[in-house]
Amino acid sequence: MKEIRIRFKKIGRAKYISHLDLTRTMIRAVRRAGIPVWYTEGFNRHPYVTFAAPLSLGFEGLNECMDTRLVEDMPMEEMVTRLNSVLPEGIEVIKASDPVMKPGDIAFAQYRLSFLKGKFKGIEGNIREFLARDSILVEKKTKKGDSKKIDLMPLLEKAAIETGDSAVMLEVTLPCSSTETVNPGLISAALNDFLTEKYGGENTLFCDITRRDLLNAEGLPFE
Amino acid sequence: MSYTLEDLFRLVQKPGRYTGGEMNSVVKDKEKVNIRFAFCFPDLYEVGMSHLGMKILYGLYNEVPDIWCERVFMPDTDMEELMRQNGIKLFGLESRDSIDTFDFIGFTMQYELSYTAALNMLDLAGLPLRSLERDSSHPIVIAGGPCVSNPEPIADFFDLFVLGEGEEVSLELFELYRRHKAAGFDRDKFLTEAAKIEGVYVPSLYEISYKDDGTIASVTPVNGAPAKVRKRIIEDLDRVYYPDRFVVPFIDIVHDRGMSEIFRGCVRGCRFCQAGFIYRPVREKSPEVIDAQSRALCENTGYEEFSLSSLSTSDYSQLETLLPRLLDWAEKQKTNISLPSLRVDGFSEELAARLNILRRSGLTFAPEAGTQRLRDAINKNLTEDEILSTARKAFSAGWTSVKLYFMSGLPTETMEDIEGIANLSQKIVDSFYKNPDKPKGKGVNVSVSVSCFVPKPFTPFQWEPQDTMEMLQEKQKHLRDSVKTKKISLKWHDAATSFLEGVFARGDRRLCAVLEEAFKRGCKRDAWGEHFNLQTWIDVMNDLGVDPAFYANRRREYDEILPWDHLDFGVSKKFLIRENQLAHQSRTTPNCRQSCSGCGAAVWKKGVCVE
């Protein structure tokens, strides 16, 4: 049996596929593609696939990770080609390779938050003002189900602002491990609260969130 | 600020219902197609996507290069509210274009309580509800499905109905449409011509008059429409189109698996069952065709399970040939075969083990009635001995629970029959404890589910009064009192929804106004329990001077003109009267394989009628 790591994009229409639904989608894609994967034992046997870091519904991912096991050899390129010929629009396999790191090595994730310019006036100035504050306190749900207050400010110190033609982008690196995870949605929600406080009314500011890559504790790309 | 459709996906529950883009969904270049068809299912995505008929027609239409068929479902309340607030019209999942610009809007009508959902969808599409209020610039709005065996309560909203199996007749309809479109489309001319296609019913071409007592005096066709419209059937199921791929949904749906149709129709003739009459005659697919189609379907979808679909799988004449053939490859590919509506007895032990029959289907019986007398009256050929001997076998194999399905309110039913439900359930409980091989240290659970009988058109019970809600509630109470043990759990279906279903199942055109008014007063999702409000319906009918009991609870005379009498589903009135009389004598009728009972479906000279 051979461990295989598959890296893929999940963009466009596919960003609305939830994690649970992605698992089912991938299992069926593996079957359609005729990849010789290992099946789980037991009552409902299905191809074994596992995802190191689930992606929230609505986020795009540019270098997502799925591990599986082969029971027969198949060239990596062939696997990529076969999968891409049966995957739905928006999911695209970039490469298949031998795993280098352990899934548990993932410590951070790089995100890009894009705020569409047309939706709100002076968005860039407002983001700068938002980031210039001393602290950004938000409620974060814990695994136990209750919530705690955390300050996003230390995480945003290295955040880079970039202005494109149609959007203002914020690049951030956030914890993404089994022990600590910060959802970038907290940042856009806090910015929304800030704008609501400043201007009043409902100024829902939609934000496109893209996970660009997964990193280990040293900040190296996960492989 | 108003939101775009893309924005709404971020705001609603389960956006996967609305985004499209699933594997095997069909996207075409709209500049290169001539006919755009919106296939509407008046229920949620999860329900509609589980429906086989839609999958067949979606695949069939999209095989035609100049036709693009898209799927449309009823949005949930959150999505509907946002769409209305932001002026977003109902759209096709594939193109996301509003369907009011399409050539056809086609609904499948599976149950009466979805009528208001269909009206809501037309309204969400920005279309006038009534056919008369639409003109040549609007899409042609059509419907098919079992409910169109009596489409009169929805006749004012649709331009035409397609009766029976749609594969051939809809392509003929498209061909007529192409010619009319090329010649400068005139809706009225098109509809008049369409009425000449066998299986197409254009309700506006029939004038209905009523007697003083409210019954129908006459039905008069105009503009050359036929006096009787006969349903269509597919003569050779081995040669008809069947999809080799289904759209594979992202989100979990009700039946998320492949489905292979193995035959149409049913030999049984249970007198309460509309499907058993309107889909006659029984026509089977050959094992070779089913095998090839199932295999292609699994390869193209990646489904880990497929089911054999029919009204009564055990009645497939070559099941013992088909199943080993399917299992040979399915086992290798780790694909499960599911066998719904299967009688668990009558299999060889080896085959039962390979199919894992007991594990798969659980142990479910549908005796429908509690006594042999009533089972004979409804022609349900299942005996107490069969039930008990199968249950004993299952208990020996380690099973501890049994599900039983019954109906209440059946014609000729008495309180004795109701007690029979409790008695039969008790006998199953007793047989568990008498069984020396019973699982050690475990109890038994018999779960009894009772639905309320609704008389349907084209069945021998089409003349029968439906029990009133009060009668049904009394029977329910009597059953509760008759059950003496906690080993039996009782579940009773809501009598109120069955009552409304009963009104519309045998209703006439005067109910169109009721539907429209109820929709305006907020009835949109009657098929979803939590949104059903009987009081609104009662108020509407009171205000419009319509008596629901006239439709639901009245016994009709054999010579009364019924609202669906100008439609022909192959079973003759003479036969249905004979069956009705036999029911009142508690006498059974043999199934189609044992001997022909002369129902009328032999006119097609196909399937079981000529075997």
- Interface of A to B at Cβ within 8 Å reads 12-14, 16-18, 20-22, 24-25, 27-32, 39, 44-46, 57-58, 86-90, 119, 206
ipTM associated with this complex: 0.90
Q: In A94-181, where does DSSP find H-type helix?
A: 123-131, 153-156
CATH number at residue A95: 3.30.70.580
Give tens-digit pLDDT for A18-76: 999 999 999 999 999 999 999 998 777 889 999 989 999 999 999 999 999 999 999 99
Phi, psi angles (nearest 5°) of residue B245: -150, 145
Q: Which of B2, B82, B250, B299 to mutate to test the interface with A (most CBs of A within 10 A)?
A: B250
pLDDT at B553 > cutoff 80? yes
The answer on A94 and A113 residing in a single domain is no
User: Residue A153: which residues within 8 A CB-CB, separation 6 or more?
Assistant: A133, A134, A135, A136
Above 60 in pLDDT, residue B360? no
Residue A223: inside a domain:
no
At residue B514, the 3 state secondary structure works out as helix
CATH number at residue A204: 3.30.70
A132, part of any domain: yes
What is the model's pLDDT at position B362?
61
**Chain B residue with minimal CA distance to A23?**
B250
Residue B402 distance to chain A (closest CA, Å): 21
A29 neighbourhood in chain B, CB within 8 Å: 23, 302
Place of tokens 């009988």: B453
Burial class of residue A101, CB neighbours in 10 A (0-12, 13-18, 19+):
middle
Domain that holds residue A11: 2-99
**Statement to judge: residues A115 and A61 lie in one domain:** no
- Per the domain annotation, does A199 fall within a domain? yes
- Mutating which of A24, A35, A60 best tests the B interface, going by the most B Cβ atoms within 10 A? A24
Interface A-B: count of C-beta contacts within 8 A: 68
Question: Is there a single domain that holds both residue A159 and residue A208?
Answer: yes
The neighbouring-strand residues paired with B206 are B221
Nearest to A17 among B10, B16, B334 (CB): B16
Same domain, A124 and A48: no
User: Rounded distance, CA B540 to CA B382, Å?
Assistant: 42
The answer to whether residue A163 sits within a structural domain is yes
Residues A77 and A56 in one domain: yes
Predicted local distance difference test score (pLDDT) of residue B213: 96
Residue in B1, B21, B334 closest to A89 by CB = B21
What percentage of chain B reaches a pLDDT higher than 90?
85
Domain boundary among A99, A122, A140: A99
User: In this structure, is residue A68 part of a structural domain?
Assistant: yes
Average pLDDT in the B75-85 region? 97
What's the Cα-to-Cα distance from A161 to each of A115, A126, A152, rounded to whole Å?
11, 12, 16
Q: Is pLDDT of A156 > 70?
A: yes
The count of structural domains within chain A is 2
What is the Cα–Cα distance from B129 to B36, expressed in whole angstroms?
20
Is residue A38 located within the same domain as residue A135?
A: no
Query: Residues A154, A124: one domain?
Result: yes
Nearest CA in chain B to A43: B359
A208 and A108 share one domain: yes
> What residue spans of B452-603 are helical by DSSP H?
469-482, 495-505, 511-520, 534-543, 548-552, 573-584
Among residues A74, A99, A124, the one where a domain terminates is: A99
Q: Please return the burial class of A36, using the count of CB atoms within 10 Å of its CB with bins 0-12, 13-18 and 19+.
A: middle
Residue B308: helix, strand or coil by DSSP? Answer: strand
- Summarize pLDDT for B126-141 with one digit per residue, the tens: 999 999 999 999 999 9
Q: How far is CA A162 from CA A62, A108, A112, A124, in A?
A: 19, 21, 10, 9
Angstroms from A25 CA to nearest CA on chain B:
6
| Whether A127 and A169 share a structural domain | yes
Residue B294 has pLDDT above 80, yes or no: yes
* Omega prior to B281 cis, within 30 of 0: yes
- Percentage of the residues of chain A whose pLDDT score is greater than 90: 61
- Measured between beta carbons, which residues in chain A are less than 8 angstroms from residue B252? 20-21, 24
| d(C-alpha B122, C-alpha B485), whole Å | 50
- Contact at CB, B250 and A25, closer than 8 angstroms: yes
Q: How many CB atoms lie within 10 A of CB A46?
A: 17
A24/B252 Cβ within 8 A: yes
- Looking at the fold, whether A120 and A180 belong to one and the same domain comes out as yes
Range with lowest mean pLDDT among A187-196, B249-258, B402-411, B498-507: A187-196
Q: How far is residue B545's CA from residue B565's CA, in Å, rounded to a whole number?
A: 25
Domains of chain B: 5-230 (3.40.50.280), 358-610 (no CATH)
Are A119 and A210 in the same domain?
yes
Are A91 and A126 members of one domain? no
Query: How many Å lie between the alpha carbon of A64 and the closest alpha carbon of chain B?
Result: 18
CB A8 within 8 A of CB A88: no
Please give the residue of chain B at the shortest CA–CA distance from A85: B23
